[in-house]
Structure 1
Amino acid sequence: MLAFERKDKILSEIKKNKKVHVSQLAKIFNVSEETIRRDLDKLEKEGIVDRSYGGATLSQHTNEDLPYATRNVINVEEKKNIATKTTSLIKTGDSLIADTSSTVFEALNLLVREKENLTIITNSITAVDLLSKFKVHLILTGGTLRTKSNSLIGSDAANTISRYFVDYAIISCKGLSMENGITDSNEPEAEIKNHMLKRANKVILVADSSKFDKNAFIKIVDISEIDYLITDQEPTHDWQQFLKEKNVTLIY
């Protein structure tokens, strides 16, 4: 088994069991404990796991501004689940504005395959690499490149966004709470997301269940400012009632 394959399987074990032990992983993959320790050290440096004595747990640092490559391998199945639900809202010919999150990327990846004649505005360099392969009307915001997230930020990006009106904004977040609304870990990115939702007729928030009842560093907007919340599993009764009171359509 190659190292990257073992890494993916270690992540699956951590997600399933919440914690892994070096000795158990060594037996599962038939490698030395030292090899597993090196694997876990690499995952810790990428911000994916927290090391503990004899093992590791999945990182839950809501305020940590993780690189895109790291975010892209966390909760992958949940993100794909959300993406399939997002496509039901979008029609052929719709115009969209999309942020740089890995969950939104999964939604775009499906949309460009299922819908025709879409117009997509984005500040995501990663998404542009995908979208350029399909027949879409693609508009890149321009702006200052933030390499950690492969995103374009700043006044130039905001000015471009302000020129357009779209059918839907699709954004994600790091935290979602009844008291503090929708929050993110990085201020410049949060500002761009705020500009995006102001230019949309309808706002779609995509957020997996790990984001609920969490607060990140900077507020994006109140929950009442979104129209749809798409997640991967049924929220609590309190959340369902709260969203109903805020006139937010819940899809799970």
Structure 2
Amino acid sequence: MLGLERRQKIMEKIRLDRKVYVSELAKSFKVTEETIRRDLEKLESQDLLRRSYGGAVIAESTSDELSYTRRSTINSESKLAIAEKAASLIHDGDTIMMDSSTTCQALLQRLKGQRDITVITNSIRLMSDFTNSGFKMICTGGTMRESSCALTGSIACQTLSKYYVDFAFISCKSIDLKKGIMESNESESRVKSVMMQQARKTILLVDHSKFDKTAFVKCDDFEHIDTVVTDDAPSKEWQEYFSEHHISLIF
């Protein structure tokens, strides 16, 4: 296993368990403890975790926000798997809204062969990365949040409210059976809510690490979600919840 892949696995574990131990990781990956310590040192230098005696703890709290660059390196394999599954839902001629998530970026990359698609987004990165993609791109405008390259505020929401689309594709920071869909900040949460209201169907793209977690701001309940696309089978409790609320589950 390459070092990069091993560090991605370490981050997946620490996001699930909130802490890791050097000895356990060494046994799990069949490498020396010194190798794991170097991995943790590298991850700490990227501000992804904090080393402690015998291991490390996750660096972020419920209100912490990861930069777009940092988010793009976390669970990258999961995002590609989700993008592959979600792409089958979109056909030529569809109109879609996309938030500023790195999962949406992976999805749009997967859709490059489908040219007759209209994309409305509040993401500066999507507007820049797919300028020559053949898609019809519409930017919301608004106030830019540097950490996420997202446009937010009243202008972004007003622009979105003028359009009605086939699908809204959104991601989030965490989901919980009782608390609903959550984000790390209110301004982006509001944009996602408007996207959900303006779409015929809303698709939630969420990897396994975001289930049963809590973030700072409640974005919405699951009543506006039609389909959840994830990378691994969620718990039986989640599967029963989605079934009871008539939410399609793709994993």
The TM-score normalised by the length of structure 1 is 0.85
Change (3 A) 1:59 1:138: same
Q: Does 1:14 align with 2:13?
A: no
Residue 204 of structure 1 and its aligned partner are, at CA, apart by 0.3
Residue 61 of structure 1 and its aligned partner are, at CA, apart by 3.9
Q: Is the 8 A contact 1:14 1:20 kept in 2?
A: no
| Matched pairs, number | 240
**Uncovered stretches (5+) of structure 2, i.e. residues with no partner:** 15-19
Q: What does the per-residue CA deviation read over 1:129-177, in whole Å, with 9 as the maximum and x for residues that have no partner? A: 2211210110011011111101111111111111101000000111111
Letter aligned with residue 150 of structure 1: C
Corresponding residue number in structure 1 for 2:195 = 196
Corresponding residue number in structure 2 for 1:137 = 136
Change (3 A) 1:181 1:133: same
Letter aligned with residue 240 of structure 1: Q
Query: In structure 1, what is the Cα distance between the partners aligned to 2:83 and 2:98?
Result: 13
Change (3 A) 1:245 1:163: same
Other structure's SS at 1:104 match: helix
Q: Does 1:120 align with 2:116?
A: no
Query: In structure 1, what is the Cα distance between the partners aligned to 2:97 and 2:158?
Result: 14
Residue 21 of structure 1 and its aligned partner are, at CA, apart by 4.0
Aligned residue runs from structure 1 range 1-252, under 5 A: 8-9=4-5, 11-12=7-8, 14-15=10-11, 19=20, 21=22, 39-43=42-46, 45=47, 48-57=48-57, 59=59, 61-113=61-113, 115-252=114-251
**Uncovered stretches (5+) of structure 1, i.e. residues with no partner:** none
Residue 63 of structure 1 and its aligned partner are, at CA, apart by 3.5
Change (3 A) 1:37 1:112: closer
Letter aligned with residue 165 of structure 1: Y
The TM-score normalised by the length of structure 2 is 0.86
